[in-house]
């Protein structure tokens, strides 16, 4: 049976792609067929390329990344400028195709959990449509406590299980890192799947050994 997860973050630029790729490499190291999906990418295809490189299963690019938008903007704005409409039903069909190819699938959302995808839908709606447990990447920097707790609350309000969270130190100068992680461990009712210290040169293979695959 395929294990599949929707990976979201407390904000943009918190290392979602790094962590998603690291989970894929960790799964592959355990002998699983691992496959990543980036439904919406805005600005360039770098995140998609990273997930493809970390996957050990080949899949059609148009299924891995149904929407590649030109400008690095919120998806609903980038889509408007490109003259396209992001359709979560199309994404769901692509996901169904990918799910049949692998044992372990990570779907990386765009931006934060509630980032708008269209005039009527956001990232939370996509997660609900796919019906997947969530992995939350917490970017450790000033302000992350409220962002993490609000996101965890929003996930549960949508009726989705939180499979776990990853603490990723994005600010090398952040004060009280251990204390902040301890605060989140006490308040987020989900397992900590890994702590990733600041990476000057992020490497998914090195990060993979720091993570525990969600159940």
Q: Residue 128: give its domain's CATH number.
A: 3.40.50.300
* Burial environment of residue 150 by CB neighbours within 10 A (0 to 12, 13 to 18, 19 or more): middle
The answer to the question of residue 213 being in a domain is: no
The answer to the question of residue 140 being in a domain is: yes
Angle (CA) 71 75 78, round 5°: 35
Cα of 148 vs its chain's centroid, Å: 14
Q: Give me the domain span that covers residue 128.
A: 3-164+179-208
Angle (CA) 98 114 107, round 5°: 15
Cα four-point dihedral sign 28, 34, 35, 38: negative
The answer to the question of residue 169 being in a domain is: no
The answer to the question of residue 103 being in a domain is: yes
pLDDT, residue 199, reads 87
The answer to the question of residue 91 being in a domain is: yes
Q: Has 16 been annotated as catalytic?
A: no
Nearest in space to 147 (alpha carbons), one of 130, 161, 167, 133? 167
The answer to the question of residue 173 being in a domain is: no
pLDDT, residue 30, reads 97
Number of domains within the chain: 1
The answer to the question of residue 46 being in a domain is: yes
Would you write out the chain's pLDDT as a tens digit for each of its 215 residues? 889 999 999 999 999 999 999 999 999 999 999 999 999 999 999 999 999 999 999 999 999 999 999 999 999 999 999 999 999 999 999 999 999 999 999 999 999 999 999 999 999 999 999 999 999 999 999 999 999 999 999 999 999 999 999 999 999 999 999 999 999 999 999 999 999 999 889 899 999 999 999 98
Among the options 3, 25, 38, 141, which is catalytic?
A: 38
The answer to the question of residue 77 being in a domain is: yes
pLDDT, residue 132, reads 97
């Amino acid at each position: 049976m395929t294990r599949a997860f929707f990976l979201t973050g407390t904000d943009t630029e918190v290392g979602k792609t790094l962590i998603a790729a690291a989970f894929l490499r960790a799964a592959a190291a355990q002998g699983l067929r691992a496959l990543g999906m980036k439904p919406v990418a805005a600005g360039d295809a770098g995140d998609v390329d990273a997930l493809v490189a970390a996957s050990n299963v080949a899949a059609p690019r148009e299924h891995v990344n149904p929407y590649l938008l030109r400008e690095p903007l919120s998806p609903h704005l980038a889509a408007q400028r490109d003259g396209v409409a992001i359709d979560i039903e199309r994404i769901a069909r692509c996901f169904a195709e990918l799910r049949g190819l692998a044992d372990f699938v990570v779907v990386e959302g765009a931006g934060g959990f509630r980032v708008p995808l269209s005039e009527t839908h956001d990232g939370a709606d996509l997660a609900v449509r796919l019906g997947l447990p969530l992995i939350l990447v917490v970017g450790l920097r000033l302000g992350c406590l409220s962002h993490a707790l609000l996101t965890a609350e929003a996930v549960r309000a949508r009726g989705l299980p939180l499979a776990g969270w990853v603490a990723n130190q994005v600010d090398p100068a952040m004060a009280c890192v251990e204390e902040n992680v301890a605060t989140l461990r006490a308040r987020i009712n989900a397992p900590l799947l890994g702590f990733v210290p600041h990476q000057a040169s992020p490497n998914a293979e090195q990060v993979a050994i720091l993570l525990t695959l969600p159940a």
